[in-house]
């Protein structure tokens, strides 16, 4: 049973997340020959104030 975790900043629509889950599932199914009903996708959204690049939080930019 493949588990896939996608970490991204918050702000995507439900439609975008739905499409992401469908495409990730299809890619895993095609790549590792796992049945779609066994593929688990987790989406972890982070607020911009919890993410920093080069010492600067994205919420401060």
Residue 47 is a catalytic residue: no
Rg over CA atoms, the chain: 15
Of 1, 2, 4, 9, which residue is the catalytic one? 2
Helices and strands: H and E segment counts in the chain: 1, 4
Q: Determine if residue 33 is left, alpha or beta; phi over 0 gives left, psi from -120 to 50 gives alpha, anything else beta.
A: left
* Residues forming the active site: 2
């Amino acid at each position: 049973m493949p588990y896939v975790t996608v970490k991204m900043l918050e702000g995507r629509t439900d439609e975008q997340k739905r499409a992401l889950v469908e495409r990730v599932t299809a890619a895993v199914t095609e790549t590792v020959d796992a049945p779609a009903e066994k593929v688990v996708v987790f989406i972890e959204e982070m607020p911009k104030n919890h993410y920093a690049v080069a010492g600067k939080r994205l919420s401060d930019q």
